[in-house]
Amino acid sequence: MGKVILITGCSSGMGKQSAQYLASCGFIVYAGSREPSKITPSKNLIPIKLDVTKSQTINSAIQTICEKHKKIDVLVNNAGYGLVSTVEDLDEEEMFNQYNINVFGLLRVCKSVIPVMREANSGVIINISSFLGKIGLPLLSLYNSSKYAVEGITDSLRYELSEFNIRVHSIMPGFFNTQFARENLVTNLHTFDKESAYANIVSKLAPVIVDEINSGNDAKEVALKIEEIIGNDNFPARVTVGDKAKKFIPMKKELSDEDFERRVREYYGI
C-alpha cells in the first residue's frame, strides 16, 4: 500500500498545490478543507471535510481514513491565515481566531493523529510554518507569534515522539505567489484607517509585503520539499523554502538582534 497523507487547509495555495502534486507522485492524499467541494478529486486525491477549529470534524476525518487504510503515514499541518494589525488595535476575537487556527488547530490535529502513528510505531509530521516564525515584523505580531509557537511545538514534539519512531519537521516558507495575500490576509480596520496613528508604517510596509507575496516563489517548491522530507529519514528538523526565507534566516543567525533589526529596518524602509 502507498503512503497515506493527510494535509489540512487544501482549498487553495500551498495546501492545494501540495495535495495535487503528492497525489500525482502516487501517494494517497486526503485533502482536508472546511469546504471539500472546492477541491477536485482525482485518482489518489480525496477531498475530506476537516475544520481545524472543530475537534469533531478532525476526529471524523481521521476515523474515515483509518477505517479504509488502517494508518496515516504523514500529517502536513498547513491550515492557517495571517492577521495584519497593530497590537494596540487588536480585539479579543481577532487574537483568539489567529491562534485558534494557526496554533490550537495544529495541536488539535496532532492530538488526534499521534495515537494512530504511535500505534504503528511510524509516522512523519510536517508543520508548515513561516520564516516569520523566526523573525518579527510590524503589523504582523499575532501572525509572527503564532508561527513562533509552531516552531516551539515542532521542537518539543521531536523529543516527545522520537521513541515512537515519529519524525517531526517544520518548513519555513518565505513569500509565495499563492492566494494568501488575496484570501488569507485579514486586516484590522482601525490599523488601516487613514487617520490611524500607525498610518505611516502601514503606508510603507503593507504594499511592499503584498507585492512580495504576489511576486513570490512558486508554491510547488513547498510540495517538492514535503516529498523530500517524507523520503529522507535523516532530514533536518526544519528547512527554509523561498528567496526571502533563505535570505533572512541565515542573516538572523549571523547577526546580533540589534544588527538584524537594523538590517530589516533598512530593507523595508521603516
Closest CA to 124 of 154, 79, 152: 154
Q: CA-CA distance, 168 to 12, in Å (whole number)? A: 24
- What pLDDT, on a 0 to 100 scale, did the predictor assign at position 182? 54
pLDDT of residue 176: 67
Sign of CA dihedral 143, 251, 260, 237: positive
Location of C-alpha cell 471524523: 60
Residues 6+ apart with CB under 8 A from 159: none
Which of these, 62, 249, 266, lies nearest to 174 by C-alpha position? 249
CATH no. for residue 114? 3.40.50.720
- Strand order from edge to edge, sheet including 4-7: 45-49, 28-33, 4-7, 74-77, 123-128, 166-173, 238-241
Give CA–CA dist 234/240, Å, rounded: 16
pLDDT block averages, 10 residues each, the chain of length 270: 92 92 97 95 96 98 97 97 94 96 98 98 97 93 97 98 98 74 75 94 87 75 96 96 88 95 90
Phi and psi at 90, nearest 5°, equal -60, 145
How far apart are the C-alpha atoms of 13 and 226, rounded to whole Å?
15
Domain encompassing residue 107: 4-268
Phi, then psi, of 132 in degrees rounded to 5: -80, 0
The per-residue pLDDT for 181 is 47
Q: How far apart are CA 59 and CA 54, in angstroms?
A: 9
CA distance 109 to 76: 10
pTM to 2 decimal places: 0.94
Q: For residue 253, give Cα distances in angstroms to 156, 174, 236.
A: 21, 16, 16
Cell numbers at 200, concatenated = 505611516
Confidence (pLDDT) at 222: 93
Which residues are marked as active site? 11, 129, 143, 147
pLDDT at res. 207:
85
Helix or strand or coil: residue 46? strand
pLDDT of residue 58: 98
Q: 170: which residues sit within 8 A by CB, 6+ positions away?
A: 126, 127, 128, 129, 133, 150, 151, 154, 237, 238, 239
* pLDDT for the residue 211: 78
> Number of folded domains in the chain?
1
